[in-house]
Chain A
Amino acid sequence: MARLLEILKRNTMLIVLIFVMIMFEILIRAHTNGFGSLFRPTNVTNLVNQNGYVVILTCGMLLCILTGGNIDLSIGSIVALVGAIAGVLMVNWKLDIHLSSLLCLLIGLGLGAWQAFWIAYVKIPPFIVTLAGMLAFRGFAWLILGGLTISAFPAEFSRYFNSFLPGGGGGPGQSYAFTLAAAVLIGAALAALQIAARIKKIGKGYEVEPLWETLLRAAFGCFAIVAAGHLLGRDKGVPVILILLAAVVLVYNFFTTNTVPGRQLYAMGGNEKAARLSGVDTDRLMFFAYANMGFLSAVAALICVARFDTANPSAGLNYELDAIGACFIGGASAYGGVGTIFGCVIGAIFMGVLNNGMSLLGMGADWQRAVKGLVLLAAVVFDVLSQRRKRLG
């Protein structure tokens, strides 16, 4: 029982997310006389498409926050600038889309590295460097586009990000079967992996968690994936962007939890001096975190450009705030050293559901902002208070 309580406590945000989803579902159904639903297949697809960029940016932002509560304010402007460059390369210069995409990613990495250099090696506070970046990069985006927008990207490029699997003909029945089958396969594979890891542990004689805990986690994961597959299948199938998101999340989760530099990142945020005296190259980690943020911003830029089919100098406005909010709602510590990729992804989904749910309820942008602000504060207050109780206990 105590164990169950601890599991619930560890996954508070997930539970709150489920609760909020149910709450929205009830409200939306009441509001639309039973016609609307948060879980309508088209709406689920919309949720994924609308929030993809936040998830990507959140992964990068978490690394910055882990170094010691540092944030990156420039990412919205990097999204705009890289988007602008993509427009010039692909539409104006008609360069090959693969080459253009690669160039855009490199430019994003370069912008990130530029800021990372000042932060990590010259020791300028990240807040100031990225504030400067936020202003300057936005300015460059306006300069490049001359204050106008570039639209009509090559169809081939848009297709990469906006299409669905299985795609092609075959009709809705076939699409549903494919999506559901894929979801079942992935869910089963994940469950099998967990159980295999458990068996391996037992084989080596290590301590393991209770069996029901493993099964519960596997079952919940399976359920979520199959439910998502079911809903997506009834719409258009698996959005390609979802596969990209999953890949990014898995790679970054692996990096933070299973690699030496990932571990060192947490150590650095926990106690920088102790980390340095333990042989951790904190400067290099700081450089990595911010250079990486630039790279992921470029990824997000390509997604946004493809989604809107437009390069716009005012694109990406306030994206940094979405990412920062998602991290803190997802349980990252404002002092660094604490936070997980999955937690922050849940934070990002939470923000997305909040936006989407309020839109479906027909709330105006004014109220949406107010609610989001209060929710962010509530999440962090809740986190701080529960941490305090943990320390006393």
Chain B
Amino acid sequence: MGGTILEMRGITKTFPGVKALDGVSLRVEDGEIHAIVGENGAGKSTLMKVLAGEYPHGSYEGEIFFAGGECRFSGMKDSERLGIVIIHQELALVPNLSIAENLFLGNERGSYFRLDWDRTFRETAKYLRMVGLAESPHMLIKDIGVGKQQLVEIAKALAKRARLLILDEPTASLNDNDSQKLLDLLKELKRGGMTSILISHKLTEISQIADHITVIRDGAAIETLARNVDDFGEPRIIKGMVGREMTDRFPGRESRPGGIGLEVRGWTVHHPLYPERKVCDNLSLHVRRGEVVGLSGLMGAGRTELAMSIFGRSYGAGISGRLFLNGREVALRGVRDAIANKLAYVTEDRKGCGLLLSSEIRPNTTLANLGRISSRRGVLDKDREIQLAKIYADLLSVKRSSLEQLAGNLSGGNQQKLLLAKWMFAEPDVLILDEPTRGIDVGAKYEIYTIINRLVADRKTVLMISSELPEILGMCDRVYVMGEGRIVGEFTRSEASQEAIMASILKSRPAEGPPAVPIAKGA
């Protein structure tokens, strides 16, 4: 490690009405892994977009020095020429093109009118080796898993002769195994002299590999912690992010389980495209009223698929098994049936499958239960709709300028609250919450937990799918661990520990095979 490779001084960026960055300074040393943490909306991504030239020089105040010279980028091409490459959270790969074509997209080998395919494929193989991928360069992107796609993105950056890699939430959609591989690769690249900036919500990963951690809060750089000098523990980082000690990240709740609210027996679901594959295999579980039961497992274990197949067969083919709601066996033919039977499924993908982003808060709130605001003939009572939508938005404290604000203009945490409001409006008895706090900040998470507690206090039944073990441990009365479409472990609150659950998950690690198609992402 030597010298400073990047220095950003006094960066201020304003959007109409909002100061997204307020005099942020950042210094990154050559050859280090520098982590940036902060709550959602703190300004991390904006800062990186300034750095990568996505916001051109002149649209912000402040100075940027890279490798000794001042930079005034007018676009991403300029920053890439200097070797600053940003990898966004949403991968920028084309599903129907091969790995090799993607790798050199916008950076093609050969001349403008004559691509050099031999060189393209030869070099692709080289870069794939560097990131530890054994896939053929001819393989289509859509046929490899998300973890490997992430590695292709890094290979793509390497092919651009990157000197500074910026990774925005690279492990957000990866399972633990793939995440670890990615982190190992970053360490490996660091040994080769690469500098990386890593934005992540996963604090364990950061404390594992970062050399420095810069905390950003409300558009300002609060502090930079250095390895071996400062405390890298999670409580210390969280304290910096939220500006207060989060002694209690989970609101307390008295556990008073009642009768069985949701039960499946011998539930089997086949993959809709590969009917021979069982996504859920003779699975049984139950959740009591007034109980929060966690469903843990790796991505691709079949948790979302299970939830959606229960929710009116909205996923899968050849579904068999028995489903009981509040002790009564039901056969749900569709989503409408499920809602009528007071079952709700709150999706993990609030933007893709949950909200109407270009519609207002009001119609979003009422969509799943329009019967509640209409006459028997199907005529809407719009005055009543406004009244009820306001009640629910207040109940869940959705921060808004008015009920007519577009859902797409809400912050992630408030979108999640709106999504919960929508499903509470449907007045369900049984709720399946799929990753209810994904990608939202610590403060909003606490609010969501409080809402969940209020639901079970009202004797609702809650099954919560979550990939965050602390959340599972902090919130659930009981935990199921799912692997390869089966329940592979069950823990009571007292038995459960991160180690025990992790061990159970790892025992069930799915064999390398065709990738689980991330159904929510519309692959």
Contact = CB atoms under 8 A, between A and B. Distances in A.
A273 B374 contact: no
B356 A337 contact: yes
Interface in A119-155: none
B515 interface: no
Contacts of A366: none
B367 A267 contact: yes
B370 A206 contact: no
A185 to B, nearest CB: 26
Contacts of B107: none
Contacts of A260: 370-371, 374, 378-380
B299 to A, nearest CB: 19
A261 B367 CA distance: 11
Interface string B301-337: 0000000000110100000000000000000001110
Interface string A359-393: 00000000000000000000000000000000111
Given A267-B359, A270-B359, A392-B16, A276 B367 contact: no
Contacts of B345: 277
A278 B359 CA distance: 15
A314 to B, nearest CB: 40
Contacts of B314: 276-277
A206 B359 contact: no
Contact of A281 (B336, B353, B370): B336
Nearest to A262: B380
A33 interface: no
A259 B379 contact: yes
Contacts of A276: 314, 335
Interface string B336-378: 1011000001010000111111110001000110110010001
Contact of B368 (A278, A333, A338): A278
Contacts of B352: 271, 273-274
Contact of B335 (A207, A261, A279): A279
A1 B368 CA distance: 37
Contact of B370 (A204, A264, A273): A264
Contact of A266 (B335, B363, B374): B363
Nearest to B368: A278
B516 interface: no
B383 interface: yes
Nearest to A273: B353
Interface string B1-45: 000000000000001110000000000000000000000000000
Contacts of A280: 367
B363 A271 contact: no
A133 B410 CA distance: 43
B380 A337 contact: no
Contacts of B378: 259-261
B385 to A, nearest CB: 9
B353 to A, nearest CB: 4
Contacts of A392: 15-16
B345 to A, nearest CB: 7
Interface of A is mostly: helix
B380 A271 contact: no
Interface centre among A270, A276, A337, A392 (most CB of B within 10 A): A270
A188 interface: no
A338 B354 contact: no
Given A273-B522, A276-B335, A392-B15, A263 B379 contact: no
A267 B356 contact: yes
B382 interface: yes
Interface string B387-419: 100000000000000000000110000000000
Contact of A274 (B355, B370, B374, B386): B355
Contacts of B368: 278-279
A217 interface: no
A391 B352 CA distance: 19
B355 A206 contact: no
A195 to B, nearest CB: 15
A278 B358 contact: no
Interface of A: 200-201, 204, 206-207, 257-264, 266-267, 270-271, 273-281, 333, 337-338, 391-393
29 contacts: A201-B383, A206-B383, A258-B380, A259-B378, A259-B379, A260-B374, A260-B378, A260-B380, A263-B363, A263-B370, A263-B380, A264-B367, A266-B356, A267-B363, A267-B367, A271-B356, A274-B353, A275-B367, A277-B311, A277-B335, A278-B335, A278-B339, A278-B422, A280-B367, A281-B336, A333-B358, A337-B358, A391-B409, A393-B16
List the 6 closest pairs (A to B, CB-CB), nearest first.
A270-B356, A279-B336, A278-B368, A260-B378, A279-B335, A273-B353
Interface of B: 15-17, 311-312, 314, 334-336, 338-339, 345, 347, 352-359, 363, 367-368, 370-371, 374, 378-380, 382-383, 386-387, 408-409, 422, 522
